[in-house]
Structure 1
Amino acid sequence: MPVNASLTFIGAARQVTGSCYLLKMNQQQFLLDCGMVQGADQVREWHKFRFPFKPKDIDAVILSHAHIDHSGLLPLLVAKGFGGNIYCTPGTAELLPVLLKDSVNLYLKDLEWQNRKAARAGKKIYEPVMSLQDAERVSDLVQVLGYNKRAFPLQGVELEFADAGHILGSAIVQLWLKGKQAMKKLVFSGDLGNPATVLLPAPTEVDQADIVLMESTYGNRNHQPLDNTIEEFATALEQAYNDGGNVFIPAFALGRSQEILYYLALLHRQGRLKQRLVFLDSPMAISITRIYSEYLHRLEQSDLDKIGYKKGMTLEQLLPMLKVSETVEDSMAINRVTHGAIIIAGSGMCNGGRIVHHLKHNLWKNTNHLIFVGFQARGTLGRRLVDGEKRVKIFGQDTVVKAKLHTIGGFSAHAGQTELVRWATAIGGAPEFYLVHGEPEAQQVLQEVLAEAGIQAQIPEQGQQILF
């Protein structure tokens, strides 16, 4: 029997980013995630964006994890009138203020720059749609719930988080929706982790569900074995050293930057890292790395043993050539280092942050190497570079691409096709499956593979609603 509930696919439907799903039940409305669509001009996107619901009518938000494409709209939601509870894990609660403050700061700085440019041209200037205070108010609304604990966020709704193994604090959302005469279990995978990823466990298997929203980012392929990935990474670093240039790694501040530091520490311990300088050039990544450092003793011990970690050790002890670039001046000074350095800088898709400045100064030099270690969404500078464009615009200037490019997909913190199918087929109860968080090509391939395994999955459109 139905429970008289509905779910509307607001975002991350036939696209990777912008996770947001609206649930209605018992005259209540709540969201699963509230994330940004990444890849376009963020100022323009912020100002033209309209929620397809009234934020003040939303009673709660349930957050799978802290990545901006899952959480980044929360400050705007608050600015537009939302005042309910936000449920997330302890790890997410620690990371969320760092990411949201950085995101809003970038928006405000970009808006100021665009307004100055518009004023000089006699064009309209715009007031900000949100403030840093809105980002701070998000933290005031957070309700922390540990893994495998039950909460009752709304009438007729039970919530439990399970470890998704994607980043620190990432969760699989399990909801029991109770109507007057029936109950349905809805499972939202969030982002499922790659079991080969260091420091974190494999995603938790779910025993039963009626409805499953499952991510499909890598639904059309598997990642190469991790040992092969590490060798590919080491080879690229050695080639860059021999070419006499620097290595630039656009890395997501949360998750990927910490993994890359781990692998550099591993290569250093093995005596295979020739570069004598490693710069972490992202204030947000620096802050998040410090949070990860506080959790190190709780992470996978077998991975920590490989880099010689002992309780109480700092990252600088594990990777002594590491330098953190806190200020803009620190970042600019990196340009004086012409060879023998590795620069890890955000953003991961090259659609903002300090990496764009480094590309402006270094992409045209054939001695340099650019290593992509994460997914590049359509519309981003990173995707255009990966797709082989030989000239790109950076800060409005044509820039020739002469640096050597490497794309290393095996570091992905997302489950590959085989892991997605394994996780899906372990769920009992013959649930209805809906594929989210993927580009159409990847979703269609995964849909076919799941069908061979006996699961008939649907690929919802943005705005589509289902009733149950």
Structure 2
Amino acid sequence: MDFQLSFHGAAQNVTGSRYLLSANGQNLLVDCGLYQEHNLKERNWRDFPFPPDKLNAVLLTHAHLDHCGLLPRLVKAGFKGPVYCTAPTADIARIVLLDCARINEEDAEFKRRRHEQEGRTPKYKELPLYTEEEAREVFPLLTPCKYNEKIDLGGGLAVEFCEIGHILGASFLRVFVSQKGATRTIVFSGDVGRKQMPILRDPAPIGEADYLVLESTYGNRIHSPQQDIPKALATIINQTCERGGNLIIPSFAIERTQDLLYFLSLLHSQDMIPRLPIFVDSPMAVKVSMIFKRYPDLYDRETKELARAFRGANTSLIHTQADSKAINHIRGTAIIIAGSGMCTGGRIKHHLTHNIEDIANTILYDGYQASNTMGLHNKDCAPID
């Protein structure tokens, strides 16, 4: 069996997933993600170490930025093939790519104005990594696939997308390479979800594989059982209430925010926490939650569980910056869920500014914090999971 597999990201670090599989004269790129570690971000500007116009297809495991965030640059560099993924992944990718482009354009404009005010000529021109227009160039290439159906890629190659939990639409990939009457299976795990988590079904068994490319973000730890999460969350909320503080949760817009709302709804229904005002201050999280409602067939609980979390009288979905800033004037304990999850941007930064110095407040991280991000630097805390 003759094929080559090379690693161009997420090797010796967590983010920037890019794996190139070359076989039978075909070139498949598994994921095309952003580097998000602060000390590695300059790699996002480098030329690709392979010719994008020679790629036959991209196989996308899911729509987190560290797996899909460089697709606009890949297309700009000449890629014109299909981007195979599940339908929910395609829907979410459109949102996160536009959001990333908008943030990059705003950051570039902010730097330009600052340099202009300071009378400085920067070493490099203030340009965004890519624009919203360039992000939209990816959309026609997104090719939705169903779970558990083998897709013929031509040239003796095929792929099957299988449920892996993690976020809505996420997959592990079975890639089949056939040569001279023999077939080998290469499994790319993508990001592996946990069992018995709310909303989504458990990951499907990977089964047999000749080769396995496995993520290991949490490979050095054992997670607490899912049933321990609500109890731990209730303890933190009640302790914060006793101090008269706010609970600030830097949260990822995809999956983590929806899980949090489910847990908060559960705790309220069981009278384990008081009915506090909950603010979801993340426009992207609100948009993604609307996508969740399109795919009830992928839930492990009925659609009403998520819908109930969003209909709660004490839950406010914040859209405008003015409403976001108004939260800072509210008196009494509140739960504020805002992006970004690693505190690298978004509205969480101004919520931290207004709350971090008050020892009555609690900051609760609900996901991975990459090295050299603000989230990691703030994380002088005790793990609960």
How high is the TM-score relative to the length of structure 2? 0.94
Letter of the 1:105 partner, please give it.
Answer: R
Counterpart of 1:360 in structure 2 is 353
Distance 2:304 2:352 in 1: 37
Alignment map for 1:17-416 (pairs within 5 Å): 17-40=15-38, 46=44, 48-121=45-118, 122-124=120-122, 125-180=125-180, 182-296=182-296, 298-301=298-301, 304=302, 310=304, 313-317=307-311, 319-386=312-379, 388=380, 405=381, 407-409=383-385
Residues 429-468 of structure 1, C-alpha deviations (whole Å, 9 max, x = no match): xxxxxxxxxxxxxxxxxxxxxxxxxxxxxxxxxxxxxxxx
Shift of 1:406: 5.5
Instruction: State the SS of the aligned residue for 2:349.
Output: helix
Shift of 1:57: 2.0
Counterpart of 1:456 in structure 2 is none
Letter of the 1:221 partner, please give it.
Answer: R
8 Å Cα contact 2:104/2:130 also seen in 1: no
8 Å Cα contact 1:39/1:351 also seen in 2: no
Letter of the 1:6 partner, please give it.
Answer: Q
Instruction: State the SS of the aligned residue for 1:261.
Output: helix
Shift of 1:313: 4.9
Instruction: State the SS of the aligned residue for 1:152.
Output: strand
Instruction: State the SS of the aligned residue for 2:286.
Output: helix
Residues 54-82 of structure 1, C-alpha deviations (whole Å, 9 max, x = no match): 22222210001111111111111112221
Instruction: State the SS of the aligned residue for 1:161.
Output: strand
Residues 18-46 of structure 1, C-alpha deviations (whole Å, 9 max, x = no match): 11101112332220001111131797554
Q: Is 2:9 the counterpart of 1:11?
A: yes
Instruction: State the SS of the aligned residue for 2:295.
Output: helix
Distance 2:346 2:248 in 1: 13
Shift of 1:218: 1.3
Unaligned runs of 5+ in 2: none
8 Å Cα contact 2:370/2:376 also seen in 1: yes
Paired residues, number: 382
8 Å Cα contact 2:199/2:306 also seen in 1: no
Distance 2:13 2:56 in 1: 26
Distance 2:275 2:152 in 1: 52
Instruction: State the SS of the aligned residue for 2:8.
Output: strand
Shift of 1:119: 2.5
8 Å Cα contact 1:345/1:355 also seen in 2: yes
Distance 1:118 1:49 in 2: 24
Distance 1:295 1:112 in 2: 37
Letter of the 1:87 partner, please give it.
Answer: Y
- The structure-2 alpha-carbon separation of the partners of 1:145 and 1:297, relative to structure 1 and needing over 3 Å to count, comes to closer
Instruction: State the SS of the aligned residue for 1:34.
Output: coil
Distance 1:272 1:407 in 2: 21
Instruction: State the SS of the aligned residue for 1:343.
Output: strand
8 Å Cα contact 2:27/2:57 also seen in 1: yes
Instruction: State the SS of the aligned residue for 2:229.
Output: helix
Distance 1:279 1:153 in 2: 45
8 Å Cα contact 2:279/2:335 also seen in 1: yes
Shift of 1:123: 1.6
8 Å Cα contact 1:245/1:338 also seen in 2: no
Higher relative contact order (CA 8 A, sep 6+): 1
Q: Percent identity?
A: 38
Letter of the 1:117 partner, please give it.
Answer: R
Distance 1:359 1:312 in 2: 27
8 Å Cα contact 1:374/1:408 also seen in 2: no
Distance 2:98 2:146 in 1: 24
Instruction: State the SS of the aligned residue for 2:128.
Output: coil
Distance 1:79 1:206 in 2: 35
Unaligned runs of 5+ in 1: 389-404, 410-468
